[in-house]
Amino acid sequence: MSDRTRLRYGMVGGGKGAFIGAVHRKSIALEETADLVAGCFSSNEAKNKDTAQFYGISADRVYADFKEMAAMEGVRDDGIDFVSIVTPNFTHYEVAKAFLEAGINVVCEKPLCFTTQEGEELERLASEKGLLFAVTYTYTGYSMVKLARDMVRSGKIGTVIDVNAEYLQDWLIDEIGAGNQTTTKMSVWRTDPKKSGISNCVGDIGTHIEDTVANITGLHPVKVAAILDRYGMDLDLNANILVEYENGTHGVYSCSQVAAGHLNGLVIRLFGTEGALEWVQEEPDRLKYTPKGQPTQILSRGTGYVTGRAAQLNHIPSGHPEGLTYAFANIYHSFMSGVLKKVNGQNLTKEDCDYPTVSDGVKGVRFIEAVVKSDKNGSVWTEV
């Protein structure tokens, strides 16, 4: 049994200049407990080497091919403890599969993959190999989302009777009417179905609604009735979705990439028999809570009345915004804590498992498939 205090990790994707790879590295850096020691950062050889050099990676651990990386790192004594997969969506499945097969724990960007079948295979592989697998549904990492979860689970709002959630952006508004021009923001991947999957808007952000609501409430849709808007494009830019959960409760999810004035507007509103909660991603340090018949309360991160998991994951004094990078870091915090214990042969606690898993990723894929199917069939109720 070892007595490790730090972890070693590798990255696939995330060459210099790539957005999401940098967020992953910086989030891990905030935790201060893991070192980047291997990578396959880019299919562009120069960029791959350049990135590796910047991060001080040994030449023998800079890989041109992710399969080689998985194989090699899987057998080294000082091999990586986990890999962060930040490649384009359409590659997630094969990259994740390679590392799982090599016996390496995985962190993968969402969406996990494009089909339920692929997702279930990854889920099964991780289970068989006894590996940890996190899917970075970022927003569940915010400590006030943890607080919302604790409040719902402890009955603060009673039984959930309606869910009203939305994720509105406007960065693709100029796609409307742009047709199949190759100069638009979407065009890089839109024209190749293999790269884009079956949905754009629901796949990219609608799935965050599903995951965040489920994380807080435990409620996954069992049926959906959806209408997607494409505005002349091949894939959806806007969607309104009626949902029904296992317990018969209903809700509505709206997502859009063409809603002028909305930047990254994930808003979760939960209505219960005893009260209501509202969380707005753009003001993540606050949580609005209304106990039935009483004034609405504004709860703030880092205060004395915030306890439980949200308090454990507090990093900066109240009133000093933590921001998205800490939400990411919180996901890594739990995941890496689990990996370290596994490496050292210790038992994992509930807190070590407090991150979105491959199973959550599969549920996300099922949701997307059902939404697209419902829309195709005239918005009829469709089982998830």
Which residues within the stretch 247-286 sit at the binding site for a second copy (CB under 8 A)? 250-252, 254, 256, 258-265, 271-276, 278, 281-285
Pick between residue 104 and residue 144 the one whose CB is nearest to a second copy: 144
Binding mask 349-368 for a second copy (x = CB under 8 A): --------------------
Task: Write out the DSSP string of 14-78.
Answer: --TT-HHHHHHHHHHHHHT-EEEEEEE--SSHHHHHHHHHHTT--GGGB-S-HHHHHHHHHH-TT
Q: Measured from the CB of residue 101, what is the shortest distance to a second copy in angstroms?
A: 31
Nearer Cβ to a second copy (78/174): 174
Per CB under 8 A, 292 contacts a second copy: yes
Which parts of 50-89 interact with a second copy (CB under 8 A)? 54-55
Distance CA 226, CA 209 (A): 14
Residue 318 binding a second copy, by CB under 8 A = yes
Kindly tell me which of 209 and 365 has the beta carbon lying closer to a second copy: 209
Are 251 and 163 within 8 A, CB to CB?
Answer: yes
| Rounded Cα distance, 236 and 228, in Å | 6
What's the length of the chain? Answer: 384
Q: Which of 26, 76, 124, 185 binds a second copy (CB under 8 A)?
A: 26
* Residue 103: CB minimum distance to a second copy, A: 27
- Is 122 or 243 the residue whose CB approaches a second copy more closely? 243
- Residue 187 or 300 having the CB closest to a second copy: 300
CA distance 337 to 220: 27
Q: Using CB under 8 A, count the residues that bind a second copy.
A: 87
Task: Map tokens 């089982």 to a residue.
Answer: 383
Q: Which residue has the tokens 């993540």?
A: 284
Q: Please enumerate in sequence order all residues whose Cβ is within 8 A of that of 212, keeping only pairs 6 or more positions apart, or say none.
A: 137, 139, 140, 145, 165, 266, 268
84-143 positions binding a second copy, by CB under 8 A: none
CB of 202 to a second copy, least distance (A): 14
Q: What residues from 190 to 229 belong to the interface with a second copy (CB under 8 A)? A: 225, 227, 229
| Coil vs helix vs strand at 241 | strand
By CB under 8 A, which span of 67-75, 96-104, 212-220, 243-251 interacts with a second copy? 243-251
Sort strands 133-135 and 105-108 into parallel, antiparallel or unpaired. parallel
Residue 195 vs 269, nearer CB to a second copy: 269
Using the rule CB under 8 A, which residue among 9, 93, 99, 289 binds a second copy? Answer: 289
Stretch of 106-114, 124-132, 298-306, 336-344 lying at the interface with a second copy (CB under 8 A) = 298-306
What are the tokens at 114?
A: 């494009």
Confirm if 39 and 85 have CB atoms less than 8 A apart.
no
Residues 6+ apart with CB under 8 A from 146: 140, 308, 309, 310, 313, 330, 354
Question: What's the min distance (Å) between Cβ of 84 and a second copy?
Answer: 15
